[in-house]
Structure 1
Amino acid sequence: MCAVLYAIPRTSILGVVLLTGFFGGEIATQMRVDAPLFTNTFFSVYLAILAWGGLWLRDKRVRRLFG
């Protein structure tokens, strides 16, 4: 559902915020089970950075917010 919100331009900011929260939960779960840091735990961080980067490239409101 979050990916669908992210794909629709009108709701993309809500979608990326929800995806970031989902990835945060994934990080917390991986830390809880003592998963390897660079292979499992940081993968969610990389995906969140890619999601925000993609939104930054296609939405000028986000560019104004961060730039």
Structure 2
Amino acid sequence: MTTNNNIPKLRLWISYILQGIIVIMLLMGAFNNLLMTEMAVTGAKEMGYPEYSVHYLGIILLVSTLLYAIPKTAFIGAILLTGWLGGAVATHIIHGDPLYNMFFPIVFGIVVWTCLLLRHKKMCEVLLNR
């Protein structure tokens, strides 16, 4: 997907800044998992994930985030991140966590797609015409 030259520069900058914030935060989570930090391992165990899965979850999050950060693969990365964030929400629901624990994954998912919608005129047109 290529960006359209008719999109205002402010809109493009907003999308890049928001995407940068999301990418940085998700990369921090991926590296926490890859480095098997105490916080990542403890959190995963509390949610019912085995300790050995933390490393694999870090790899999946890293690949998805990198795909999202690269303009030509951002759409595929957004789909993968949506699945990742949906899994986070599902995990919180399964464990009966309070509603506010689901707030951040939902907001991150909205921002992931908002960045792409701000940047790609065709995606906006398709979404608004249906």
The question of a shared fold, defined as TM-score above 0.5 by the shorter chain, is answered with yes
TM-score where L is the length of structure 1? 0.88
Does residue 60 of structure 1 match 2:121? yes
Look at both structures and tell me which one has the larger radius of gyration over its CA atoms. Answer: 2
| Number of the residue aligned with 2:95 | 33
What's 1:13 paired with? 75
Gaps of 5+ in 2: 1-62
Higher relative contact order (CA 8 A, sep 6+): 2
CA distance in 1, matches of 2:70, 2:119: 12
User: Normalising by structure 2, what TM-score?
Assistant: 0.48
Q: 1:42 aligns with which of 85, 89, 103?
A: 103
Alignment identity in percent?
A: 39
Aligned residues: 66
SS at match of 1:19: helix
Task: Give the distance between the partners of 1:5 and 1:44, measured in 2 at CA.
Answer: 18
Aligned CA-pair RMSD = 1.1
Give the one of 64, 78, 86 matched to 1:24: 86
CA distance in 2, matches of 1:4, 1:60: 23
- The residue aligned with 2:58 is none
Q: Which has the higher helix share?
A: 1
